[in-house]
A and B are shown apart, each in its own frame.
Chain A
């Protein structure tokens, strides 16, 4: 038995209000959102462990601040999908626009298509898995968490990165300041295999990825690095 909210008649506030009112032990655990028509801020800030299926393309900040729900976008998502997610799972069946998973602290963001520029910007602990490619400046100032890309990465991957770990199977157009390739050890392969499985990419070989991370040269100001700030 699922709940239906049709955004052709209901407002975004109706949808989010209903989802926010759910107690943690709710038995209304499956929600279908019809006619999203690219509207912004759908299914944001949900704390209850429910599943929300958005039947089409979503606009900006979809599933932002997610606190534990599973949100599935059955189309494309606009800017900032799952921005500042704390926990839960957000899945985009199509492509995601810029700044997917921005500043997110936890949870799992899966994008089956491509993610455009600045994917995982300032990420703080989220796991992001992208089935396609990511655009330029992805993982910019990424602080913690992982970004896994099955396709290619655009220019300046991991610019000014802190301690996030980046895994790319395809080509990297260029690495950003202080981002370097690192050795892929067994522990990395095992953890990556587990994440790929959790994201639904079971058949993908974790051994086919390369790992990138911080060279830790920009942590403290050094005058020789001034050009990189």
Chain B
């Protein structure tokens, strides 16, 4: 099953409430995915690269690297000056206990095993501000219930993917992407989809182009929501095996696996509510 949600704010007034709304949406989607949860929040660009990492001893790590860090439960966001990225990447690569979860000017990415409401509370999602965010609640089918198996998966700087469904050709695709230079942490099918999109964009596709290419290359069931620096995009497989509902007002655009996830959004009673069509890319962008 799995539940996915996304919320994109069109105006700055609601930005302080973004995390609160996302947390409520995730909690409602517990019925679709009680195994693990995760989310990405796109906040302000404060001039440094935000490197979300997880593992033991993150405060000591930040002190050793002389970086500012915000620790939240098992994760920390390291604020890295762009000029030091290579050095920090090299240092992190030599520490096998530390996993880089996400990277970007604006994106912070958190995921853990547990009920969605508990995961959101552990990371303090309700107090997070931002322009947009996406989230996922997982009911595991294709691989184990682990933090590595939780979504979102990053697809590049300031970009990540959540997925409801299952891919049937992920093993073959993983072998192909390994030959293209991608490394995989898990047996998870969504990690393959994330790497696939990264690869397409590395080869010159736009996000929209990469998603269209996926319609041909990804075999299986999927509703994808991709979070980007400036917005998010939605794609359903041509069969529409997995559910999806969208809603839009003058203030926001929201995505949910079910309408239930959207019922507490402000102004939902007057929102335009519709079901995204099969094999069509929907994208919302805001001025960067």
Chain A residues with CB under 8 Å of chain B are 37-39, 57, 59-60, 76, 78-79, 94-95, 97-98, 116-117, 135-136
Contacts and interface: CB of A to CB of B under 8 A. Distances in A.
A57 to B, nearest CB: 5
Given A59-B260, A78-B259, A117-B239, 6 more contacts: A38-B259, A57-B273, A59-B259, A60-B258, A136-B240, A136-B278
Contacts of A57: 259, 273
28 contacts: A37-B260, A38-B260, A38-B262, A38-B263, A57-B259, A59-B258, A59-B260, A60-B258, A76-B259, A76-B273, A78-B243, A78-B258, A78-B259, A79-B243, A95-B274, A95-B275, A97-B245, A98-B240, A98-B243, A116-B240, A117-B239, A117-B240, A117-B278, A135-B240, A135-B277, A135-B278, A136-B239, A136-B278
A3 B106 CA distance: 51
A interface, over-half SS: loop
Nearest to B274: A95
Interface of B: 239-240, 243, 245, 258-260, 262-263, 273-275, 277-278
B283 to A, nearest CB: 21
Contact of B260 (A39, A79, A95, A117): A39
B interface, over-half SS: loop
A98 B277 CA distance: 11
B275 A97 contact: yes
Which 9 A-B residue pairs are closest in the complex by CB-CB distance?
A38-B259, A38-B260, A37-B263, A117-B240, A116-B275, A57-B259, A97-B275, A38-B263, A76-B273
Contacts of A79: 243
Contacts of B262: 38
Contacts of B263: 37-38
A99 to B, nearest CB: 10
A107 to B, nearest CB: 24
Contacts of B239: 117, 136
A37 B263 CA distance: 6
Nearest to A57: B259
Contacts of A135: 240, 277-278
A54 B144 CA distance: 40
